[in-house]
Chain A
Amino acid sequence: MAVAEADLAVDRPRLRVNWTPYALILPTLLFLGVFFVYPMAQAVWLSATDPQTGALTWANFRRMSADLYFPQAVRYTLLIIALAVPLQVMLGLAIALLVNTRFRGHAFFLYLTAVPIGISDLAAGLIWLSIFTERGYLNAVLERLDVVQLPLIFLTVERTDWLLGAIVLTEVWRATAIVMIILLAGLQLIAKDYAETASVFGATRWQTLRHVILPLLRPSLQTALIIRTILAFQLFATVVTLAGRQIPVLAGEAYFWYSLYRSPNVASAYAVVILLFSGSITWLYLRFLRADEGRA
């Protein structure tokens, strides 16, 4: 969001503060205060108090962690993120680089690969359900190829690895587009001179990509990683449509504690856990990618 300095209405009388911009951003700040900051504080408060007496207590967190689903939810959420996010970044980078070669038809290719941005996690889950369900397209293909006579059951609690695989594929299919868009925007900010200079000095395309383009793309890679990881902690509808509660995840458990067990307090404890995880992972990314930069 670079703003051309000349276009800005500034530098009128130097000493008088112009209050107009502050008045213009005030509604946004107020709204985000009430519907962002307040519920965040409320989540912490609810998770740490007794629903009846309002006294401070660890009981909600204890109830949460004593639940059999909790350790599984933590494990599966982290596992899905660890599997899906690297695939999304690699595929997203590949698509962005392809679009950036500006081959004939790249505009249509960009539109097509961007389509999943407009598709909800719910719809994506339903789409892939039509493939992986017992009488789904995958079994239809396998039967046609004479691999199976009877339909295989992919989405069952007895085969959690297949359930996980289906969820990861669906997430990669749906969310690669966002990564791709972020990286493409980053690629387009990189001046062509760099690549040209590299090739003048005899660098191969691969070397140029590895030693020139990728380092320059680091801020975008970092953003894409952070956005994808944090959004993945909200993973809910994809899992619900493909696996129900057989693969518990954090956001799903928050939903069940709220709707099924009617305990907003324990559900809030889950919300706090999600916030803590997202916050610390963002911190880790920022730290590690920064530290790397220092060494290079």
Chain B
Amino acid sequence: MTLRRLGIYSASLLISAWVALPLLLITIAAFSPRDTLYAWPRRFWPEHFTLETLRFFLRFAGVWQSTLNSVLVAMLTIGLAFVIAAPAGYALARFRFRGRDSMQLAILATKMFPATVLSIPLAVAYIRWRLYDTLWGVAIVHTALSIPFVIVIVTSVFVGISYELEEAAMTLGSSRVNAFLRVTLPMAAPGLAAAAIFTFVLSWNEVFAATILTLNNRTLPALIVNSILGAGAPLHFRFAGGFFMIVPALIIIFLIRRYLLTLWGVTVR
């Protein structure tokens, strides 16, 4: 029995190190002075930590603007995804209707779809629709990517809240809309917030569509890809950029850890 325990703990420790070590290393790199990063022999631990490398990254032309763009696109995506997909999630949770199963299958299919490659034909259409190189254009693609996830979380949230409470409010003279707004919604708020947060990460992290669909109005990942491929940005820029991109992710995964299983845990049968 203790042998088994020992096995479990050592395996967990080993896997934890495998996940955590690269995160630690990029953090050290982002706070190392530039000459440490290029010196040989290469020191593991810099003599002193500095903000200089991160400052260089942030001062790089366009970084602030594209960070702002990324945040704006993520906000637009959250707004669009909720307006469009939250009603569908509510419908799946509260109603039993013909076509419900095919709807769930369609959601699963969109989750599995290699959607970012569609940004190439979309770019052509966007030029016609005057959406090319706009934040709205990127947000729309990100919305298409996040809709299945928003539906899945919203459904699970409303399944968890008994419909009887809504009915009780209606019996007491409240309208259907009012019952929803004043009884169900406050209880659903934490779950809905998790869906919004996940949508944020999805949009913040998306590279391919953003790179294809923008030219001047780059999001942060698009700017980084472009500065690597086009301009051959220096290594310390890349390390600081990598670190800068993962910080929100670390915080956000912590915030939504309860919903991780809901997000991905659906199976085809």
Which residues from chain A sit less than 8 Å from chain B, CB to CB?
A: 1, 3-5, 7-10, 18, 20-25, 27-28, 31-32, 35-36, 38-40, 42-43, 45-46, 91, 94-95, 98, 101, 103, 105-106, 109-123, 125-131, 133, 135-137, 139-141, 143-144, 150-151, 173, 178, 181-182, 184-186, 188, 219-220, 222-223, 226-227, 230-231, 233-234, 236-237, 240-241, 244, 251, 254-255, 258-259, 264, 267-268, 270-271, 274-275, 278, 282, 286
Contact = CB atoms under 8 A, between A and B. Distances in A.
5 contacts: A3-B159, A36-B118, A42-B122, A118-B253, A234-B114
Nearest to A108: B16
Contact of B110 (A4, A36, A128): A36
Contact of B25 (A20, A94, A101, A130): A130
B124 interface: yes
Contact of B147 (A32, A38, A278): A32
B138 to A, nearest CB: 12
Contacts of A1: 92, 104, 152, 155-156, 159, 266
A282 B111 CA distance: 13
A234 B37 CA distance: 31
A282 B44 contact: no
A103 B238 contact: no
B123 interface: yes
A120 B208 contact: no
Contacts of A255: 208, 211-212
B261 interface: yes
B114 A181 contact: no
B205 A118 contact: yes
A98 B97 CA distance: 40
Contacts of B85: 27-28
Interface string B229-269: 10000010011011001101110111001001101111111
B144 interface: yes
Given A27-B87, A40-B118, A123-B246, A140 B44 contact: yes
A130 B260 contact: no
Given A130-B242, A135-B40, A264 B118 contact: no
Interface in B1-39: 5, 8-9, 11-12, 15-16, 18-20, 22-23, 25-26, 29, 37-39
A28 B147 contact: yes
Contacts of B123: 258, 264
B144 A36 contact: yes
| Residue among B92, B120, B206 with most chain A CB within 10 A | B120
A282 B114 CA distance: 12
Contact of B238 (A119, A129, A278): A129
Contact of A251 (B44, B117, B204): B117
A5 to B, nearest CB: 8
B42 A139 contact: yes
B53 to A, nearest CB: 11
A170 B246 CA distance: 15
B225 interface: yes
Contacts of A188: 261
